[in-house]
Amino acid sequence: MNIIRPIAMKDLDRLCQIAVDSGPGFTSLPSNRELLEQRISASEQAFSNAQPDPSGASYLFALEQVSSGQVIGVCGIEAAVGLREPFYHYRLGTVVHASRELGVHNSFQTLYLCNDYTGCSEVCSLYLAPDFRHSSNGALLSRCRFLFMAQFANRFPGKIIAEMRGVSDASGRSPFWDGLGQHFFSMEFSEADYLTGMGNKVFIAELMPKHSIYLHLLPDSARDVIAQVHQNTIPARKMLENEGFRFEKYIDIFDGGPTLACELEDIRAVRQSRFVKVHIGPAQAHSIPYLISNTELENFRCTLVNIGPSEGQITLPADLAHQLQVSQGDEVRVVELKG
């Protein structure tokens, strides 16, 4: 059994290893022990606060293998991006250059630096250890956040975004960065990505061009990867799209990866989730897997079960109820796992 819980300071060593294993391009988890310790501390505070932080809070979740106690994955939610420090994207647009006298009419795709997603919530920091990328573990890790947001909707604004990791090679080189960012920053992609993860974002505004960038002036290698995802990110993108997320023509300023967005109430797992009562006893296996979570904040728990709810209740074995920290008659939130 694998179960989602809030991350804790005891997980620091494992989180540091995950930051190393995730490699370049995983901006939200830089390989810096001090910063990761701060992220865990901020998450613990967010889960313990009875009232939401108006300037945005950071929630980190761990996926634990119950039998071994090993953390095999992490994921996170930023309640409101861009309120404490700038949050940048490129917006894809179109500019028309036309002359009636010359009979010329040309349209060009452009990139424009913007902060349009300021104040939105972001699902982020998703990483699952390679040996556990099976048995719907990725679906649990990604979608547990939607049950949490459904339960505590007052902590999150209306729109939820997800920045998808863009294309890079095995050595961490990004064709988009080499074709564009390199010319303005005079540093390698991995260094710029690391500085951003460390929160040093002032240099972006200082060094990035303030005017539209014409895509046809970029090399083919850079244009070809715009709004494309890293090979390891393809399943995560498909999963989010199955939940209702869509590409709104915003991309990452470093690797060109797409940002997907969806209104909170339009996310399938949020819209279709419902409450049922817990009955503890022998459970009958169901052919359809369900996500199930308790309704606690600080002690949030979520897992996958092959047990279907019936007539407003769900029957759970005693050991599973213990892991979810629920008792007879408690309410839990459930939603069918799809896609």
3-state helix, strand, coil in the chain (%, to 5): 35, 30, 40
**How far lies 87's CA from each of 83, 114, 226, 278, 320, in Å?**
8, 8, 19, 42, 40
How many residues are given for the chain? 339
Token couple for 241: 């799209």
SS3 track for 203-244:
HHHHHCCCCCEEHHHCCHHHHCCCCCCCHHHHHHHHHHHHCC
Residues 176/249, Cβ–Cβ less than 8 Å: no
- What is the rounded distance in angstroms from the CA atom of residue 271 to the CA atom of residue 212? 38
Active site residues: 230
Return the closest-CA partner of residue 157 out of 193, 129, 117.
Answer: 117
H/E element holding 197? helix 189-197
* Phi, psi dihedrals of residue 73, rounded to the nearest 5°: -170, 165
**How far lies 107's CA from each of 72, 91, 95, 96, in Å?**
48, 16, 6, 4
